[in-house]
Amino acid sequence: MIKNEEIILLENRYEIYLKKEIGRGQYGVIYECQDLLNEYPDKKICAKKITCFLQDEKSKREFELMSKLKIVAKGNPNIVNVIDVLLHDEHVILILERCEGDLSDLIRKRRRQQQRFTPAEALEIIKQITNGYKLLLEQKIIHRDLKPQNILYVNNTYKIADFGLARIADQFGIYTKLGTPRYSAPQIFWDYQYSYSADIYSLGIIFYQLIFDSFPFDAKDLQRLKHELFLLKYKPIKVSRDLPEFKLDDSIPNLIEQMLLYHEKDRINWTKLFQHKLIINNQFETKLINQVETQSINPFQELSIQETKIEKPSKEQNINQQTTDFQNQIIPNTQPIISKEISKFVEGVDQSYLFQIFVVFILLELQKRKL
């Protein structure tokens, strides 16, 4: 029912304000909306009007999918909350929770501030998206358009949204070639079939973009992009380990590389991703200074280190001359005492690795002095 030219009233409950547009995309327009029953007082809501008529196959598919998600996705915080799915003048109207913005907004904001997402921050976002995708996999739904614009956030919670291109998976995996090119898997362009694994590739591109604020390859047009994707068959993406955070722990670069492999059979699958140590336990050693400041990660877990005062080493605590030189370079006139266990350990250890351990040890000692 239409109250006037500026407001639509649906179900005698939802007022949709046509003059207050929030945003628009390829397949829909989002408006401000109010629930007159105020059933969800702690949530703001909005209304998305699908531009295609209901007779259109895409509109039918989205109507069915969103009706399904309205029921099954209620308990998952990482899927945008579908409050109602309605029809008005042969158009689908979705009543959704209103979020603060999307991930692309945050990426642009960081860029303006000349900042980037730390690997730990990026991992937390990917972890949440992965949790949302668990539900899609359970329901046999392929999203087909994962990208920052379709990841919404509210109160630091990230949610998969915009299921306009999503569809139920079939046994043959033959689908229309859709999606956003920069985030699309090679199979979208070069193969006749693709599966849920295409969404893993898209998520890998998002992961890479969050950390490096760029894409794995520089493709200025679609033809060049397709060429770069084809070359992945022979030259897989290699993620840089130059960031300080990756010096001691390169599990994130390793995971991104597994997500961006050309062949679906080689790419990490969703089951293994759900079970990956980074996703389950958020195990990632951040850069050394963060380890010192937070004291949350003990890099010597498997080593026995005695806490002692700083003094000249005794004969029993002697280590090789190269390590002593390193000590003198970092803290002149100070030589930390290292236990007998460490002395035995270092005899057969690669010196570069020993030096990294020693640096962290010194930083820990300095931090304790500050405290």
Full DSSP string of 256-319: HHHHT-SSTTTSPPHHHHHT-HHHHH------HHHHHHH----TTTTS-----------GGG--
Residues 119 and 204 in one domain: yes
Give backbone dihedrals phi and psi of 245, rounded to 5 degrees, phi first. Answer: -65, -25
Cα 199 to Cα 144: distance, rounded to the nearest angstrom: 6
The answer to whether residues 40 and 83 touch, using CB atoms and an 8 Å cutoff, is: yes
Of 265, 286, 307, the position where a domain reaches its end is 286
User: Look-up: residue for tokens 């639509």?
Assistant: 8
User: In the structure encoding, which two tokens stand for residue 260, read together?
Assistant: 């961006």
2 within domain boundaries:
no
Regarding pTM above 0.85, the answer is no
Residue 290: per-residue pLDDT: 46
Local structure of 92: helix, strand or coil: strand
Cα 273 to Cα 254: distance, rounded to the nearest angstrom: 12
Residue 334: per-residue pLDDT: 39
User: Look-up: residue for tokens 């937070």?
Assistant: 294
37 within domain boundaries:
yes
Of 52, 81, 97, the position where a domain reaches its end is 97
Domain that holds residue 217: 101-286
Cα 317 to Cα 277: distance, rounded to the nearest angstrom: 37
Cα 16 to Cα 31: distance, rounded to the nearest angstrom: 7
Residues 107 and 92 in one domain: no
Angle at 159 between CA 218 and CA 145, to 5 degrees: 45
Residues 141 and 217 in one domain: yes
> Structurally, how many domains does the chain consist of?
3
Residue 355: per-residue pLDDT: 61
Of 76, 97, 118, the position where a domain reaches its end is 97
Residue 310: per-residue pLDDT: 33
22 within domain boundaries:
yes
1 within domain boundaries:
no
Binding-site members for ATP are 49
The answer to whether residues 33 and 40 touch, using CB atoms and an 8 Å cutoff, is: no
228 within domain boundaries:
yes
Mean pLDDT by 10 residues, the chain (371 residues): 74 93 85 91 89 74 88 93 91 93 95 93 97 94 92 96 72 52 88 86 97 90 91 94 92 97 95 95 50 36 32 43 44 41 45 59 64 50
Residues 80 and 180 in one domain: no
Distant-in-sequence, close-in-space partners of 196: CB < 8 Å, separation ≥ 6: 137, 142, 169, 269, 270
Binding-site members are 49
User: In the structure encoding, which two tokens stand for residue 36, read together?
Assistant: 């007159």
Domain harbouring 189, CATH code: 1.10.510.10
Residue 370: per-residue pLDDT: 54
